[in-house]
Structure 1
């Protein structure tokens, strides 16, 4: 079983990833290196695709960590409530 403190850490880490990475994605989309010409109207370059894969992976992992943290926190809360 995970402690409440560890569960809270996982929730914070998951939320951090879910909040920060989409902001980074916006920065990548706005970067001239991501496109062959005009943004969204030209071919995406390798710079775009590499970062798209990294960002997607980080968000999926962040969501997984968030789910584990929330479940662990609920489990720790219910376990501490029944032991009183």
Structure 2
């Protein structure tokens, strides 16, 4: 399958965007003081674990999507003769 240049850039940008958003989310989750992420004893709650799993899954998917975009751009560069 051959990806177009705009689609490859979009996929790569999506991967980078995913990392920016979800790393920020994890940082905010870790520093949460509202009582949702950690109970009174300072232990993580179910809310914390579910959202951490969501963030990790999104990071993995974003990495995969970004890698596909990067591979598409490299393939297009090889096809055009620029090594």
Coarse TM-score class (shorter-chain normalised):
0.7 to 0.9
- Confirm whether residue 4 of structure 1 aligns to residue 11 of structure 2: no
The answer to which structure has the higher helix fraction is: 1
Supply the RMSD in Å over aligned alpha carbons.
1.4
User: Structure 1 stretches (4+) deviating beyond 4 angstroms?
Assistant: none
Question: What is the alpha-carbon distance in structure 2 between the residues aligned to residue 9 and residue 81 of structure 1?
Answer: 22
Q: What 5-or-longer segments of structure 2 have no aligned partner?
A: none
TM-score (normalised: structure 1)? 0.86
- Confirm whether residue 27 of structure 1 aligns to residue 28 of structure 2: yes
Question: What is the alpha-carbon distance in structure 2 between the residues aligned to residue 18 and residue 4 of structure 1?
Answer: 22
Q: CA deviation at 1:16?
A: 0.2
Structure 1 residues 29-48: aligned runs within 5 Å: 29-31=30-32, 32-37=35-40, 42-48=42-48
TM-score (normalised: structure 2)? 0.87
Structure 1 residues 5-84: aligned runs within 5 Å: 5-31=6-32, 32-37=35-40, 42-81=42-81
Q: What 5-or-longer segments of structure 1 have no aligned partner?
A: none
Question: What is the alpha-carbon distance in structure 2 between the residues aligned to residue 37 and residue 64 of structure 1?
Answer: 38
